[in-house]
Amino acid sequence: MSTAVTGTIVLPTTEDLRTLSRTSLQRCGVDLMVLDTPMKNAVTARTPVTGEDLFDYPAADSVGVEAAIEAAHEAFLQWRTVPGPVRGALIKRLGELLTEHKEDVANLISIEVGKIASEALGEVQEMIDICDFAVGLSRQLDGRTMPSERPGHRLMETWHPLGVVGVVSAFNFPAAVWSWNLALAIVCGDAVIWKPAQLATLTAAACSALFDRAAAESGAPANLNVTVSASAADTQALIDSPKVPLISATGSERMGEQIAPRVAARFGRAILELGGNNAAVVTPSADLDLATRGIVFSAAGTAGQRCTSMRRIIVHQDIVDELVDRISQVYSRLLIGDPFAEGTLVGPLIDGKSYANMIAALEKAVEQGGEILVGGKRRPSSNDSYYVEPAIVRMPTQSEIVKDETFAPILYVLTYNTLEEAIALHNDVPQGLSSSIFTTDQREAEQFIAADGSDCGIVNVNIGTSGAEVGGAFGGEKTTGGGRESGSDAWRSYMRRATNTINYSRELPLAQGVSFA
């Protein structure tokens, strides 16, 4: 049961959540004995819904991570010669199993992350969608044929499996990010080692069990996906191993600063999806009803804990008061509470550290001349769960706090006079993931998506910053990392390219007219 903005939040019991976890895990094929067996090395699964612990789950140490790398590498050596469409059949089966167990996986996401039911189900649907995409891709891993300057020669490129792909995922999308990488990697002929967020161990166990079942039913080699719940220190073997040519990591900018140099030092590849300090520009011509809906979902959805969550709105001074009033009215009606309850729109923050970061950011905002217009308070609940009211903060144009990403529902309001000023203000942050503009003026829209417009990897018109589809490549620029996952030609990151010259003549002419007799 959820309440409105006043009153105490009513939550399910932790024991109820334990029971639901066990049921969902068992249905997905996880051996429940691992939850009941005492163990030396374990990670504790916790739920932000009540703030209490659920189960201990086996964790890998550095030796276990090394063993996982070897197992995945052996699987890769077998899998790389399997035809692409046959690889696609495995991912097709995984998509079918995810469809069958959609509610089970979504339940675990809500329990471990606190997502409301519709968002958790949406995350699993995203996994199903990327499986569909990858199945089609398995028949389209094409190279090019180019004209040769030499008679009797053909110039072409071929794409080959890369190796073991290390996937490091974050808590906020505990399953979807893995699937983006896994589905593409598998059809490209690679194997995967998944290091899930320790805050989402049960979700990872369920997803891994479904993949293992799909692999077994498809006749694929074992260990094509090896999941290792491990500490950051024990994961270093994964980051440093030359048998893992690609690391795809989602997390904080600080994490990326640590991973990128280590991977580069061994000439590995990295796909980094790091911070997002996303903004919307709202122009005088904007449809304010549309803008309000788009902003509220992007800013308050998932309790502001998406990498694409909207952190800033840059609004023309002539309409700022009206727009802020509209958003504030919607915020006052948001149902905050139990993510399983019908009608809830805002669930909990992941933990107390996130809440502390939110309060610290709000305090800095006020110190820098900001005014908290709405929200920012913690709602009464159990001691270790953190339900907060999404905040709207009016800020001076020049303020430093708006350049920092706080993983919580804080929306900073800035104003502008000219579109050029708005774009400069928009781009004046280190991060570059997602952006949007609300306008009915085609010139403004085109200017925002042009080369001198938004500097983000995702640039939207008349929608918010959240809610990307799998068909497009996902990722950002600047300190966001620069990598791309999911759709479009992101598959190329999971393969190696070979340029081939084939001489079918009886002569041996050299390129560029070189003579070497």
Residue 95, phi then psi, degrees to nearest 5: -60, -40
d(CA 222, CA 75): 7
Q: Which of 126, 273, 405, 485 is catalytic?
A: 273
Residue 428 main-chain phi, psi, to 5 deg: -85, 50
Pick left, alpha or beta for residue 106 (phi over 0 → left; psi -120 to 50 → alpha; otherwise beta). alpha
What CA–CA distance (Å, rounded) separates 243 from 263? 12
Sign of CA dihedral 15, 19, 25, 28: negative
Upper half-sphere CA count for residue 94 (Cβ side, 13 Å): 37
Is 485 a known active-site residue? no
Of 307, 389, 405, 485, catalytic: 307
131 is annotated as an active-site residue: no
Return the closest-CA partner of residue 20 out of 117, 98, 94, 124.
Answer: 117
The 8-class DSSP code of residue 390 comes to -
State the Cα–Cα distance between residues 470 and 487, nearest whole angstrom: 5
Cα dist from 179 to 7, 30, 88, 486, whole Å: 39, 18, 14, 9
Instruction: Identify each DSSP E strand in 259-342 by its residue range.
Output: 269-273, 278-282, 310-316, 336-337
Catalytic residue annotation: 273, 307
